[in-house]
Structure 1
Amino acid sequence: MMLKYILDTNICIYIAKENPIQVLERFKSLSPGIVGMSLITHAELLYGAAKSNNPRKTKQLVSQLTELIPVLSVDNNVAEHYADIRASLAKQGKIIGNNDLWIAAHVRSKNKILVTNNEKEFCRVEELTVENWCS
Protein backbone atom coordinates (compact mmCIF):
# COMPACT_ATOMS: atom_id res chain seq x y z
CA MET A 1 0.00 0.00 0.00
CA MET A 2 1.03 3.58 -0.60
CA LEU A 3 1.69 5.92 2.32
CA LYS A 4 -1.03 8.59 2.55
CA TYR A 5 -1.08 9.85 6.15
CA ILE A 6 1.61 10.90 8.60
CA LEU A 7 0.38 11.01 12.18
CA ASP A 8 1.21 13.79 14.62
CA THR A 9 2.28 12.87 18.15
CA ASN A 10 -1.14 13.52 19.70
CA ILE A 11 -2.83 11.11 17.26
CA CYS A 12 -0.25 8.39 18.02
CA ILE A 13 -0.98 8.84 21.74
CA TYR A 14 -4.74 8.59 21.11
CA ILE A 15 -4.20 5.33 19.20
CA ALA A 16 -2.02 3.93 22.00
CA LYS A 17 -4.57 4.92 24.66
CA GLU A 18 -7.51 3.86 22.46
CA ASN A 19 -9.15 7.18 23.29
CA PRO A 20 -10.88 8.99 21.65
CA ILE A 21 -12.24 5.78 20.17
CA GLN A 22 -13.06 7.31 16.76
CA VAL A 23 -9.34 7.91 16.16
CA LEU A 24 -8.55 4.25 16.85
CA GLU A 25 -11.47 3.12 14.66
CA ARG A 26 -10.31 5.32 11.78
CA PHE A 27 -6.77 3.99 12.13
CA LYS A 28 -7.98 0.36 12.21
CA SER A 29 -10.12 0.92 9.09
CA LEU A 30 -7.03 1.70 6.99
CA SER A 31 -4.85 -0.84 5.21
CA PRO A 32 -1.31 -1.39 6.48
CA GLY A 33 1.20 0.91 4.80
CA ILE A 34 -1.22 3.85 4.51
CA VAL A 35 -0.04 5.46 7.77
CA GLY A 36 3.40 6.43 9.09
CA MET A 37 4.94 8.64 11.76
CA SER A 38 7.80 11.09 11.50
CA LEU A 39 11.10 10.39 13.20
CA ILE A 40 10.38 13.61 15.16
CA THR A 41 7.09 12.15 16.44
CA HIS A 42 8.93 8.98 17.43
CA ALA A 43 11.46 11.08 19.36
CA GLU A 44 8.64 12.97 21.12
CA LEU A 45 6.99 9.67 22.11
CA LEU A 46 10.31 8.33 23.45
CA TYR A 47 10.83 11.56 25.41
CA GLY A 48 7.35 11.21 26.90
CA ALA A 49 8.18 7.63 27.87
CA ALA A 50 11.50 8.63 29.44
CA LYS A 51 9.86 11.21 31.70
CA SER A 52 6.82 9.05 32.56
CA ASN A 53 6.21 7.38 35.93
CA ASN A 54 7.00 3.99 34.39
CA PRO A 55 9.61 4.60 31.66
CA ARG A 56 10.24 0.91 30.87
CA LYS A 57 6.56 0.06 30.39
CA THR A 58 5.83 3.25 28.44
CA LYS A 59 8.85 2.73 26.17
CA GLN A 60 7.54 -0.78 25.47
CA LEU A 61 4.18 0.76 24.45
CA VAL A 62 6.01 3.11 22.08
CA SER A 63 7.85 0.13 20.62
CA GLN A 64 4.55 -1.71 20.06
CA LEU A 65 3.12 1.40 18.42
CA THR A 66 6.06 1.62 15.99
CA GLU A 67 5.35 -1.97 14.94
CA LEU A 68 1.91 -0.78 13.79
CA ILE A 69 2.98 2.63 12.50
CA PRO A 70 6.32 2.71 10.65
CA VAL A 71 8.78 5.48 11.56
CA LEU A 72 9.79 7.53 8.52
CA SER A 73 13.39 8.71 8.32
CA VAL A 74 14.35 12.28 7.55
CA ASP A 75 16.36 13.35 4.50
CA ASN A 76 17.86 16.56 3.11
CA ASN A 77 14.57 17.42 1.41
CA VAL A 78 12.99 17.79 4.87
CA ALA A 79 15.67 20.36 5.78
CA GLU A 80 14.81 22.38 2.65
CA HIS A 81 11.13 22.43 3.60
CA TYR A 82 12.01 23.28 7.22
CA ALA A 83 14.03 26.32 6.11
CA ASP A 84 11.28 27.46 3.73
CA ILE A 85 8.46 27.05 6.28
CA ARG A 86 10.40 28.68 9.12
CA ALA A 87 11.40 31.68 6.98
CA SER A 88 7.86 32.08 5.66
CA LEU A 89 6.33 31.96 9.15
CA ALA A 90 8.95 34.38 10.51
CA LYS A 91 8.15 36.90 7.75
CA GLN A 92 4.47 36.68 8.71
CA GLY A 93 5.24 37.04 12.41
CA LYS A 94 3.77 33.59 13.09
CA ILE A 95 5.43 30.94 15.18
CA ILE A 96 4.86 27.25 15.76
CA GLY A 97 6.71 24.89 18.09
CA ASN A 98 10.08 23.71 16.84
CA ASN A 99 9.15 20.01 16.75
CA ASP A 100 5.87 20.87 15.02
CA LEU A 101 7.88 22.82 12.46
CA TRP A 102 10.02 19.74 11.75
CA ILE A 103 6.94 17.48 11.56
CA ALA A 104 5.27 19.92 9.14
CA ALA A 105 8.43 20.01 7.02
CA HIS A 106 8.62 16.22 6.98
CA VAL A 107 4.99 15.79 5.96
CA ARG A 108 5.11 18.54 3.34
CA SER A 109 8.36 17.19 1.86
CA LYS A 110 6.64 13.83 1.31
CA ASN A 111 3.47 15.54 0.00
CA LYS A 112 1.31 13.57 2.44
CA ILE A 113 -1.58 14.44 4.78
CA LEU A 114 -0.78 15.35 8.38
CA VAL A 115 -3.28 13.89 10.84
CA THR A 116 -3.37 16.01 14.01
CA ASN A 117 -5.62 17.35 16.72
CA ASN A 118 -3.57 20.55 16.63
CA GLU A 119 -4.96 22.15 13.49
CA LYS A 120 -4.59 25.65 14.93
CA GLU A 121 -0.81 25.33 14.92
CA PHE A 122 -0.37 23.49 11.63
CA CYS A 123 -2.87 25.48 9.55
CA ARG A 124 -0.32 28.33 9.58
CA VAL A 125 1.93 26.28 7.29
CA GLU A 126 1.32 26.90 3.60
CA GLU A 127 0.89 23.93 1.26
CA LEU A 128 0.41 21.50 4.16
CA THR A 129 -2.69 19.31 4.05
CA VAL A 130 -4.10 18.69 7.53
CA GLU A 131 -6.84 16.32 8.70
CA ASN A 132 -8.32 15.87 12.17
CA TRP A 133 -9.67 12.42 13.00
CA CYS A 134 -11.06 13.70 16.34
CA SER A 135 -13.73 15.92 14.82
Structure 2
Amino acid sequence: MRYLLDTNICVDAMSDRYPRVAARIRRLSPGSVYISPIVVAELRYGADKSGRPRANHAKIDDFVQDLSCLDFNLDAAAAYGRIRAGLESLGKTIGSNDLLIAAQAISNQLILVTDNLREFQRVKGLQIENWRG
Protein backbone atom coordinates (compact mmCIF):
# COMPACT_ATOMS: atom_id res chain seq x y z
CA MET A 1 0.00 0.00 0.00
CA ARG A 2 1.18 3.49 -0.88
CA TYR A 3 -0.22 6.65 0.64
CA LEU A 4 -0.48 10.37 -0.10
CA LEU A 5 -0.85 12.57 2.99
CA ASP A 6 -3.30 15.47 2.96
CA THR A 7 -2.50 18.70 4.77
CA ASN A 8 -4.66 18.02 7.83
CA ILE A 9 -2.96 14.66 8.41
CA CYS A 10 0.49 16.28 8.17
CA VAL A 11 -0.53 18.91 10.71
CA ASP A 12 -1.82 16.15 12.99
CA ALA A 13 1.46 14.25 12.73
CA MET A 14 3.62 17.31 13.35
CA SER A 15 1.60 18.57 16.31
CA ASP A 16 1.08 15.16 17.93
CA ARG A 17 -2.62 16.02 18.42
CA TYR A 18 -3.35 12.55 17.09
CA PRO A 19 -0.45 10.34 18.24
CA ARG A 20 -1.72 7.35 16.27
CA VAL A 21 -1.32 9.34 13.02
CA ALA A 22 2.37 10.06 13.67
CA ALA A 23 2.92 6.48 14.84
CA ARG A 24 1.33 5.02 11.72
CA ILE A 25 3.49 7.16 9.44
CA ARG A 26 6.62 6.06 11.33
CA ARG A 27 5.65 2.37 10.99
CA LEU A 28 5.37 2.51 7.20
CA SER A 29 8.32 1.61 5.05
CA PRO A 30 10.29 4.34 3.28
CA GLY A 31 8.94 4.96 -0.18
CA SER A 32 5.36 4.10 0.75
CA VAL A 33 4.37 7.53 2.07
CA TYR A 34 4.22 10.53 -0.27
CA ILE A 35 3.53 14.21 0.01
CA SER A 36 2.34 16.62 -2.65
CA PRO A 37 4.07 19.94 -3.28
CA ILE A 38 0.56 21.43 -2.99
CA VAL A 39 0.36 20.09 0.58
CA VAL A 40 3.83 21.46 1.34
CA ALA A 41 2.70 24.85 -0.03
CA GLU A 42 -0.34 24.79 2.28
CA LEU A 43 1.89 23.89 5.23
CA ARG A 44 4.30 26.74 4.38
CA TYR A 45 1.39 29.17 4.12
CA GLY A 46 0.18 28.08 7.55
CA ALA A 47 3.66 28.51 9.00
CA ASP A 48 4.07 31.98 7.49
CA LYS A 49 0.79 33.24 8.92
CA SER A 50 1.38 31.67 12.34
CA GLY A 51 2.76 33.43 15.39
CA ARG A 52 5.87 31.20 15.23
CA PRO A 53 6.88 30.97 11.56
CA ARG A 54 10.52 30.02 12.15
CA ALA A 55 9.66 27.14 14.51
CA ASN A 56 6.85 25.92 12.27
CA HIS A 57 9.02 25.97 9.15
CA ALA A 58 11.61 23.92 11.05
CA LYS A 59 8.90 21.37 11.93
CA ILE A 60 7.88 21.17 8.29
CA ASP A 61 11.50 20.71 7.18
CA ASP A 62 11.94 17.88 9.67
CA PHE A 63 8.63 16.22 8.75
CA VAL A 64 9.01 16.24 4.96
CA GLN A 65 12.64 15.07 4.86
CA ASP A 66 11.64 11.40 5.14
CA LEU A 67 8.74 11.59 2.69
CA SER A 68 8.81 11.21 -1.07
CA CYS A 69 7.57 14.38 -2.77
CA LEU A 70 5.54 13.85 -5.95
CA ASP A 71 5.89 15.87 -9.11
CA PHE A 72 2.76 17.32 -10.68
CA ASN A 73 3.19 15.70 -14.08
CA LEU A 74 1.18 15.28 -17.28
CA ASP A 75 -0.72 12.27 -15.90
CA ALA A 76 -1.80 14.32 -12.89
CA ALA A 77 -2.81 17.17 -15.20
CA ALA A 78 -5.00 14.80 -17.24
CA ALA A 79 -6.57 13.40 -14.06
CA TYR A 80 -7.23 16.95 -12.86
CA GLY A 81 -9.11 17.76 -16.05
CA ARG A 82 -11.28 14.63 -15.79
CA ILE A 83 -12.02 15.14 -12.09
CA ARG A 84 -12.87 18.82 -12.40
CA ALA A 85 -15.07 18.38 -15.46
CA GLY A 86 -16.87 15.46 -13.85
CA LEU A 87 -17.52 17.30 -10.59
CA GLU A 88 -18.65 20.48 -12.35
CA SER A 89 -21.11 18.49 -14.48
CA LEU A 90 -22.66 17.22 -11.23
CA GLY A 91 -22.56 20.62 -9.53
CA LYS A 92 -20.31 19.16 -6.81
CA THR A 93 -17.06 21.10 -7.02
CA ILE A 94 -14.30 20.97 -4.41
CA GLY A 95 -11.49 23.37 -3.56
CA SER A 96 -8.81 23.97 -6.19
CA ASN A 97 -5.96 22.63 -4.03
CA ASP A 98 -8.03 19.56 -3.17
CA LEU A 99 -8.58 18.95 -6.89
CA LEU A 100 -4.84 19.03 -7.51
CA ILE A 101 -4.14 16.69 -4.58
CA ALA A 102 -6.85 14.24 -5.69
CA ALA A 103 -5.43 14.25 -9.22
CA GLN A 104 -1.99 13.34 -7.90
CA ALA A 105 -3.40 10.54 -5.76
CA ILE A 106 -5.39 9.04 -8.64
CA SER A 107 -2.67 9.38 -11.27
CA ASN A 108 -0.11 7.73 -8.98
CA GLN A 109 -2.53 5.08 -7.67
CA LEU A 110 -2.09 6.25 -4.09
CA ILE A 111 -4.51 6.11 -1.18
CA LEU A 112 -5.22 9.63 0.06
CA VAL A 113 -5.01 9.91 3.84
CA THR A 114 -7.26 12.77 4.96
CA ASP A 115 -9.78 13.90 7.52
CA ASN A 116 -11.51 15.95 4.81
CA LEU A 117 -13.84 13.16 3.79
CA ARG A 118 -16.73 15.44 2.86
CA GLU A 119 -14.81 17.01 -0.03
CA PHE A 120 -12.78 14.07 -1.24
CA GLN A 121 -15.64 11.53 -1.21
CA ARG A 122 -17.06 13.42 -4.19
CA VAL A 123 -14.11 12.32 -6.36
CA LYS A 124 -14.95 9.14 -8.24
CA GLY A 125 -12.21 6.52 -8.10
CA LEU A 126 -10.26 8.18 -5.28
CA GLN A 127 -9.26 5.80 -2.50
CA ILE A 128 -9.42 7.48 0.92
CA GLU A 129 -8.45 6.56 4.47
CA ASN A 130 -8.82 8.58 7.65
CA TRP A 131 -6.16 7.70 10.22
CA ARG A 132 -7.60 9.90 12.95
CA GLY A 133 -10.34 7.45 13.93
Tell me whether 87-96 or 47-56 shows the greater mean CA deviation: 47-56
Alignment of 1:63-82 (within 5 A): 63-82=61-80
Show the counterpart of 2:123: 125
Structure 1 unaligned blocks of 5 or more: none
Inter-partner Cα distance in structure 2 for 1:21 and 1:58: 18
User: Which SS does the other structure have where 2:132 is aligned?
Assistant: coil
Inter-partner Cα distance in structure 2 for 1:66 and 1:24: 13
Inter-partner Cα distance in structure 2 for 1:49 and 1:71: 19
Alignment of 1:48-87 (within 5 A): 48-87=46-85
Show the counterpart of 1:100: 98
Inter-partner Cα distance in structure 2 for 1:52 and 1:70: 26
Q: 1:69: Cα distance to partner? A: 1.9
Q: 1:68: Cα distance to partner? A: 2.2
* TM-score between both structures, scaled by the size of structure 1: 0.94
Which residue type is aligned with residue 44 of structure 1?
E
Determine if contact 1:42/1:71 at 8 Å carries over to the other structure: no
Aligned residues: 133
Alignment of 1:17-32 (within 5 A): 17-32=15-30
Structure 1 runs, 4 residues or longer, greater than 2 Å off: none
Q: 1:35: Cα distance to partner? A: 0.3
Root-mean-square deviation (CA, aligned residues, Å) is 1.1
